[in-house]
Structure 1
Amino acid sequence: MGFNKDRFLLTWVVLFFFWVSATALLSPKGVNFEVQALMGIKEFLDDPHGVLDNWDEAAVDPCSWNMVTCSLDGLVISLGAPSQNLSGTLAPSFGNLTNLQLVLLQNNNISGHIQK
């Protein structure tokens, strides 16, 4: 069983592809841009029932967080927190969720505009 140069090269190409796709949303400091945007949103909200308690700024992936839905590619596409007794204002960081397609925040006390 000798060294197969083509197989070795293919393995490195595949590994590089996975590394690039895993780090595409990371800032130079290794922080996911979507995590930063969601944490900015959380900062502007009063959450008396703790529905956003599992939102963790140290996380790399927000796809398992309450009220967050992600695409198959792991991008935040929906934020749904209707009737959760949230109050406050919409954070400017909403505009940083560039793949966001659906926002459900009805029956809360949130004011402001989503700006892109």
Structure 2
Amino acid sequence: MNPRTLVRAEGAIVAAAATATYALQGRSLLVFLALVLLPDVSMAGYLHSRRVGATTYNAVHTYLGPVTLAAAGILTGTGLAVGVALIWTAHIGADRLFGYGLKYADREFGDTHVQRL
């Protein structure tokens, strides 16, 4: 299997697992739907420049943020943080499934790490 297919399959599994975990915890579907596209607000950085856009987009579209938020939520017993982390993780997984990846500051928006695989 080629790397691009692997990244997309991985994204599908991550998105499905995060969404299922969220649902199995009895969390609100309306909250999920309201927040699932929120990470894409980070694209607003492109209104300033490619470099700022890529930086803001990448900061929000790696698993580092939601994993850190989930860990903090678990350690402090903050269910809201865990729920938001699951939604955020589902978003990133879905992005990978559909071929959206991390951006390069010196390239066009659509030129991502997934296209280079």
TM-score normalised by structure 2 residue count:
0.30
Q: More helix by proportion, 1 or 2?
A: 2
Greater relative CO (CA pairs within 8 A, separation 6+): 2
Larger Rg: 1
Q: More strand by proportion, 1 or 2?
A: 1
TM-score normalised by structure 1 residue count:
0.30
